[in-house]
Chain A
């Protein structure tokens, strides 16, 4: 909730100091920076999970294949590889404090929204002692939580889908966000915070309505995210047909996965378990 640490036992100096130091250049509009001298680390991704191995080998090309089987994504590089063009934006950095014997222990909580403006969004929240660490961690978490967003039409089905398929609502804490389909050209009719999220989702027109304490950015942004997740959870007549089951990638590529990975030849194949 509202982290007005200043109320606790004073020490506004510390509060201001911590905030100012971290907040100066890091607030808002950090577009995937921090990639400067780190090229080498990124290229050497050694997948740990089976899914990671399949994605690295290129057996899985679209993230939709992962969504189809509800596979948990544990490595953010998977998303980076499958959804190119992911942009991230820091929504807010709030300092949160904990009281200790020796004063307050301040940490920074970063909210990051990630998206490709074409049907995929992710939201990440991370708290860390330094702003940069928090932002980095939040970006990773946001990538792990990328979900598909279903878009539909308001009226005539001409052109590409541009709005939400139906009225959906999402809730987090006391904040409820309701999204209503809008005709083309309406634009995103929403507050600054959800507008950002909806832009990243790739929704062009929508009417929104919110309730509750929208001041709490954390809950507000989570509520819109929850709302967007529900767009694919809504059963419309298009889904009435019987599902044609597809083999899971783990079954399809079981031979490939059975091979031990290079680094592990020394110890044992991935599937060995040491209790």
Chain B
């Protein structure tokens, strides 16, 4: 992550600049109308409508610091990531999945860190929270148990007992997802699991909170695709040429990765093809040359092998 040296739009952006661009897109820099005195050092300016703007350069530095602390814990299972708020729950679960930590999504039962007689008693070495205000109970308990705490703090968040506060917007769903994604990527880069400079194949969208209705819609669309795959199965490999067979293979794996629906334009031709109910024959005749290359990029190789 080389530091940027002036310049701008013409040459390629450094890792840090790319990250900051992403954070800007996710509205990480927007604070609230109030500012806690301990957060003043991270604030860039106050907008005319009263919202404080957070200095994203400092956010990035704090993220790096937090990542270093996370990497310093030998056993990742001793880290607990927590979010009581719904916007952070998915991000927290994904973060835990990719870094090996433990996630608590939803209500924090008081006494989890202090009451040794509880079944859910645990003594973590590090605690990561999305919001010091809503997650105030774990903060109080970690103070009693000598547990260092990292938290994403908004401009008006209380900083009591928070050891590393990462200045950021913890109100927006995109913002929280983006921050956890960045933190996870930094941790994995520091551990050496991902090489720096390479894009992480996991998408940010995976960390974003999905409304239950939205999730249902996507699942329905994904459910439609596999149905067609099943039908072609019965109609037999004999009739279909090898070309068409591989194209059928390529498309189904693409559809279910729900994240891709966000980037709608590319799969549209296929989408239309599926909607025209019935045999995919006419569509496939034209589509294979277009779809196959992208399909191979996105679909993981093992699935294809399975089919063949």
Chain A residues near B (Cβ < 8 Å): 48-50, 69-72, 74-75, 248, 250-251, 254-255, 257-258, 269-275
Q: Is B260 an interface residue (CB 8 A)?
A: no
Residues of B in contact with A (beta carbons under 8 Å apart): 74-75, 77-78, 80, 102, 104-109, 112, 116-117, 119-125, 144-146
How far is B123's CA from A273's CA once the two chains are assembled, in angstroms?
10
Chain B residues whose CB sits within 8 angstroms of the CB of A49 once the complex forms:
116, 123
Interface pair B78/A271, CB less than 8 Å apart: yes
Task: List the B residue with the shortest CB-CB distance to A74.
Answer: B116
Q: Is the CB of A273 within 8 A of B102?
A: yes
Chain B residues near A71 (CB-CB < 8 A):
146
Using A271-B124, A275-B112 as known contacts, list a sample of 10 further A-B pairs with CB atoms less than 8 Å apart, ordered by residue number in A: A50-B123, A71-B146, A72-B145, A251-B74, A255-B74, A255-B75, A270-B122, A273-B80, A273-B104, A273-B120
* Alpha-carbon gap, A274 to B103, bound state (A): 10
From residue A254, how far is it (CB to closest CB) to chain B in Å? 5
A181 to chain B, nearest CB (A): 33
Bound: A74/B125 CA distance, A = 17
Interface of B is mostly: loop
Bound-state Cα–Cα, A70 to B147, Å:
12
- Chain B residue nearest to A270 (CB atoms) is B122
A49→B118 CA distance, assembly (Å): 11
| A72 to B120 CA separation, bound complex (whole angstroms) | 18
Cβ contact within 8 Å between A272 and B122: yes
Whole-angstrom distance from the CB of A54 to the nearest CB of chain B? 11
- The DSSP consensus for interface residues of chain A is loop
- Tell me which residues across on chain B come within 8 A of A254, comparing CB atoms: 74-75, 78, 125
A71-B146, A75-B116, A258-B77 given as contacts; is B122 within 8 A of A271 (CB)?
Answer: yes
Of B116, B120, B146, chain A has the most CB atoms within 10 Å of the CB of B116
A274–B120 contact, CB under 8 A? yes
Residues of chain A with a CB closer than 8 A to B109's CB: 275
Pair A69/B146 contact, Cβ less than 8 Å: yes
Residue contact B77 to A275, C-beta cutoff 8 Å:
no
Give 9 closest A-B pairs by Cβ, nearest first: A48-B116, A254-B74, A274-B120, A74-B116, A273-B122, A275-B104, A258-B75, A50-B123, A254-B75
Q: Given A70-B146, A71-B146, A250-B125, A273 and B116 touching (CB < 8 A)?
A: no
Q: Across the interface, which residues of A come within 8 angstroms of B80, CB to CB?
A: 273
Q: Are B146 and A72 in contact (CB under 8 A)?
A: yes
Q: Which residue of A lies closest to B104 (CB)?
A: A275
Q: List the B residue with the shortest CB-CB distance to A275.
A: B104
CA separation between A109 and B19, bound complex, in Å?
Answer: 62
Q: Which residues in A have their C-beta under 8 angstroms from that of B107? A: 275
Rounded to whole angstroms, the CA-CA distance of A250 and B119 in the bound complex is 21
Minimum C-beta distance from B232 to chain A (A): 43
A-B contacts, 19 of them at CB < 8 A, read A49-B123, A250-B125, A254-B74, A254-B125, A258-B78, A269-B77, A270-B122, A270-B123, A271-B77, A271-B102, A271-B122, A272-B102, A273-B80, A273-B102, A273-B104, A273-B112, A273-B122, A275-B105, A275-B109
